[in-house]
Amino acid sequence: MWSFSRPEGVSVVRSTLRGWRRRALAVAAGAAVTATAMVAGVPSVAAQEFPAPDEIVSSSNMKQVAHLPPTAPLVGGTGTDIAFQGRYAFVGNYLGFTIYDIKNPKKTKIVSQVLCPGSQNDISVTGNLLFVSTDSRRSDDSCNSTSQNDGTKPYWEGMKIFDISDKSSPRYIKAVATDCGSHTHTLVPDKKGRSVYLYVSSYSPSASLSNCQPPHDKISIIEVPLRHPTQARIVAEPNLFPDGGNPGDGNPWPNGTSATTGCHDITVYAEKDLAAGACMGDGVLWDISDRTAPREIDRVQDDEHFAFWHSATFNNAGTKVIFTDELGGGGAATCNAEIGDERGADGIYDISGRGDNRKLNFKSYFKIDRYQTDDENCVAHNGSLIPVKGKDIMVQSWYMGGVQVWDFTDSSNPKRIGFWERGPAADPAEGGGSWSAYYYNGYIYSSDLGKGLDVLEINDPRTNKAKGVKMDELNVQTQGRYGR
């Protein structure tokens, strides 16, 4: 993941629908965009007209119902991940985080903003606690810290904890330093309801960094007592790759495969004692019945198609895992003819067998079916399930490829349902696109790297049943079962 330096101010977003997009929207609801020339189901560049800068285009079953641009003090930062609780959405930003009131999604409003710089500010919530990740070297653990890029001098990075009992005035209460910082983290409930664990994912050690020495094949596990959160501490640092993991192939982008030096992201299905790890060069399935000692069940690699295993999503039954490949690190144009439709994509894996004999079995790839321009970074990124009982349907961010809704009920034959996107950024400083797109209580919320928060609605027979599923809390990397 990556960031931009952005000036003050926000460009005006236009939502005119022109040319081929009008023709596309005339297609049946949710149908894929078609053109006169096709390559692997994707319109060829010669046949496709691209939307104008900042032009909003979509399938006929999706629309934007609200947009909140960045506001001070977070203007110029990079929008990141989202968590939900009751009537609130919590959105991370490289400069801090924002709490939104989404009781009426079409009239979403800001409740409070916290200035606390430290990329990425990946975010999760439980009860009255909010957790944010810091994966950049800071002068200290305060919200007034400055950048400290000399890794040989004292610096801090890791986890921060806030008390959000008063949503209008969050209170910073605790910091826990972790080796190599915290690029992302995953909230894992214990089995007694007394504590939560934070699985802290970080990577890319260097001999020049005093607190991030190689090898770094571990995660840090922080225990947070819910009644006494200021007693949070590291309780385990399990080595997940005693064999060193995927060594990588040493080739540069776009053909290279990353060496594993830790994990980028971990998703847990706590009820089933399972975790899926997207760990740079490896996709892993763990047993987490002992929360502080994940135990590997199976591991897969895909050196031909996957460059960087980025994130993971279980289906509702816990019988499948979607792994995403962040080819180009999120900063490259990979949704084009040169890259094709199998790299920078999702990999769909079925889980077969039982217990320690479970295996991850590759079934197919999925990628958006609309080429983007060479000025648009586009690759598979963060998404969540849309809770339709008996179906496996997902909404997902693709950076400047926009937001895609798709069905992987048939693992070997995923189907597109709908999309929403903007054209190339009129102001390059506001570029980046959708970082996370999650479904929560009837609406899709998309955190844009540069343009703020978008609230979207999908109306389609294949997804409408999800509107009856209400959740009290959602941390997407902490999956629970719906449709009981």
pLDDT range class, residue 354, cuts 50, 70, 90: very high
Flag the least confident range among 14-28, 173-187, 397-411: 14-28
Flag the least confident range among 31-45, 334-348, 427-441: 31-45
pLDDT in tens, 253-311: 877 999 999 999 999 999 999 999 999 999 999 999 999 999 999 999 999 999 999 99
Residues 6+ apart with CB under 8 A from 434: 381, 397, 398, 399, 400, 402, 403, 421, 446, 447, 448, 449, 454
Distance CA 315, CA 248 (A): 29
Residue 449 has pLDDT above 50, yes or no: yes
Query: What does the mean pLDDT of the chain come to?
Result: 90
Residue 23 has pLDDT above 50, yes or no: no
Kindly provide the residue ranges of all beta strands, DSSP E only, lying in 255-335, ordered along the sequence. Answer: 265-269, 274-279, 282-287, 295-300, 309-314, 320-325
pLDDT range class, residue 252, cuts 50, 70, 90: confident
Position 10 scores a pLDDT of 24
pLDDT range class, residue 483, cuts 50, 70, 90: confident
Residue 249 burial (CB count, 10 A): 14
CA 479-86-73 angle, 5° bins: 100
Distance CA 156, CA 107 (A): 39
pLDDT range class, residue 48, cuts 50, 70, 90: low
Residue 391 vs residue 11, higher pLDDT: 391
pLDDT in tens, 157-173: 999 999 999 999 999 99
Residue 34 vs residue 103, higher pLDDT: 103
Residue 356 has pLDDT above 90, yes or no: yes
| 159 in Cβ contact with 185 (< 8 Å) | yes
What are the φ/ψ torsions at residue 174 (nearest 5 degrees)?
A: -165, 145
Residue 323 has pLDDT above 50, yes or no: yes
| AA identity, residue 115 | L
CA 13-16-19 angle, 5° bins: 135
Residue 148 has pLDDT above 50, yes or no: yes
Average pLDDT over residues 383-391: 97
What are the φ/ψ torsions at residue 233 (nearest 5 degrees)?
A: -160, 160
Kindly provide the residue ranges of all beta strands, DSSP E only, lying in 149-303, ordered along the sequence. Answer: 156-163, 171-177, 184-189, 195-201, 220-225, 233-236, 265-269, 274-279, 282-287, 295-300
Position 20 scores a pLDDT of 25
For the chain, give percent helix, strand, coil, nearest 5. 5, 40, 50
Position 43 scores a pLDDT of 43
pLDDT in tens, 53-70: 999 999 999 999 999 999
Q: Residue 284: which of 316, 305, 260 has the closest Cα?
A: 260
Kindly tell me the number of DSSP H helices and DSSP E strands found in the chain.
1, 33
Position 247 scores a pLDDT of 97
Please tell me the pTM assigned to this model: 0.91
Position 484 scores a pLDDT of 66
Query: Which three-class secondary structure state does DSSP give residue 481?
Result: coil
Distance CA 82, CA 90 (A): 6
Question: Structural domains in the chain?
Answer: 19-479 (2.130.10.10)
Position 49 scores a pLDDT of 81
| AA identity, residue 10 | V
